[in-house]
A and B are shown apart, each in its own frame.
Chain A
């Protein structure tokens, strides 16, 4: 181990690694297979896929098991793995209108086009801890077939109706700039919207929720009234160009969560006769993340550079978590120099500053 003025310790580090492997892999309980993890801990698996920026359930499950359930560590493992993989293709542009919904709610309107589909949710269930003695008895019930219409599985989005009523600010310019690739270079402010959306899509969920909550209720004071127009979880098709025909070919589907947030505009120089629309989309089923993303998308547009700067610089879990983790590494030399400074201050006699040093101001 070599790090800022400390080295050695290799034998102890290797022993610690062996200890982790032994306690994890040889715990006196049944092995947690990959299918067990994807089926029973699907939300954790989805969160890992989203924060890692790589969609593949078995890969995320392997990482989740290796990381002993630590989702951020698992996302770190998956990102490290992804960095070793070649890029086979760039997909054809995915149109989110093609989503086959597994869940879809429109909090803004009771009877939108298409169903209010609760799907697989415990949103309306009391939080009572269940402590079963063992696995539940098999349930052989097979639901009776139900006829389905395309509008039920691919409902028209609520914002389309608002657009028809001319109630939405129109941000469509007809331009379609090349999207920013956050896997190739870091997004730093000022950044194009594609960089902000991509950064949020693979942000650490808690960081994104925390930043959104701070932005509306915290010291930033960006008080705004948001209603959700869509919250969806469903499958989207992934297409690439067929190398022989040049035409798009669907190679599979991936699940994603999508949110549209409607903002009641009331600020200076804003069109008070219309709503603004924020957008959130992330891999897997992660509604908290998608909702926070949609709200922050609007907030960035309304409250501008300072929020975008905080967002781009702080929401990546590997960035923030990595910096935090590094604090556990030996800091003997830097701390000794601090002690030396304290002792030096005593000899000069200037113990208290008249003014704060640069960077002391923290909102």
Chain B
């Protein structure tokens, strides 16, 4: 799994599952260094509008990021919202996977679960939306 894909899925994971996995990761006494402490801030969102294909700044999106080093290997996460514990745990999980440590497989499994959950949610969403597809009649 590419680091970008893992970061994307860890950004969508639930706080409880991240914290549980991160706690297990650290339980073996691994050397943890917090490189960037969890920080809440904004991501300035630029959009390419389709009329002139020029960028404009739509606004800010609230996000939280953290970076750690686990046994000398870096892990990073950025998630939407302001959950500092979740982003720190996600960074630990990312480092666990990057380092190929014992729970790397569990991190990959968590990512697969998150991906499946996202797909299921999108399918359920479409099941509710599809009946609202309309074909208005045109009056002659």
Contacts and interface: CB of A to CB of B under 8 A. Distances in A.
A242 B10 CA distance: 13
Contact of B50 (A145, A157, A247, A251): A157
A323 B8 CA distance: 43
B49 A159 contact: no
A212 interface: no
Contacts of B57: 179-183, 194, 198
Contact of B54 (A55, A175, A260): A175
Contact of B78 (A87, A95, A180, A251): A251
A85 B58 contact: no
B55 A176 contact: yes
Nearest to A59: B62
Contacts of A39: none
B84 interface: no
B29 interface: no
Interface string A72-111: 0000000000100111111111111100101000000011
Contacts of B128: 143
A33 interface: no
Contacts of B7: 242, 249, 251
Interface stretch (B20-28, B36-44, B99-107, B109-117): B36-44
A321 interface: no
Contacts of B140: none
Contacts of A278: 51
A142 B124 CA distance: 8
A90 B131 CA distance: 38
B52 A171 contact: yes
A142 B45 CA distance: 35
B81 A251 contact: no
A54 B60 contact: yes
A248 interface: yes
Contact of B43 (A89, A179, A242): A89
A115 interface: yes
B95 to A, nearest CB: 11
Contacts of B52: 171-173, 193
B53 to A, nearest CB: 5
B127 interface: yes
A256 B58 contact: yes
A253 to B, nearest CB: 8
Contacts of B81: 56, 58
Contact of A56 (B56, B62, B125): B62
A137 interface: no
Contacts of A240: 43, 78
Contacts of A260: 50
Contacts of A194: 54-57
A182 B58 CA distance: 10
Contacts of B74: 244
B1 interface: no
Given A54-B59, A55-B61, A95-B48, A110 B3 contact: no
B62 A281 contact: no
Given A54-B62, A56-B82, A148-B130, A251 B43 contact: yes
A354 B47 CA distance: 54
B47 A82 contact: no
B138 interface: yes
A225 to B, nearest CB: 18
A96 B59 contact: no
Nearest to B44: A90
Nearest to B120: A145
A115 B78 CA distance: 34
A131 to B, nearest CB: 26
Nearest to A146: B130
B127 A145 contact: yes
A277 B135 contact: no
Contact of B3 (A53, A82, A172, A244): A244
B54 A281 contact: no
A287 B78 CA distance: 30
A-B CB proximity, top 9 nearest: A56-B62, A252-B80, A194-B56, A88-B41, A143-B127, A53-B59, A118-B132, A146-B130, A86-B41
Interface of B: 3-4, 7-8, 11-12, 39-63, 65, 67, 74, 76, 78-82, 122-136, 138
Given A96-B48, A116-B134, 18 more contacts: A55-B45, A59-B82, A85-B60, A88-B41, A91-B45, A94-B46, A96-B47, A143-B130, A146-B127, A152-B126, A159-B50, A176-B53, A193-B56, A195-B56, A198-B59, A238-B43, A248-B4, A252-B11
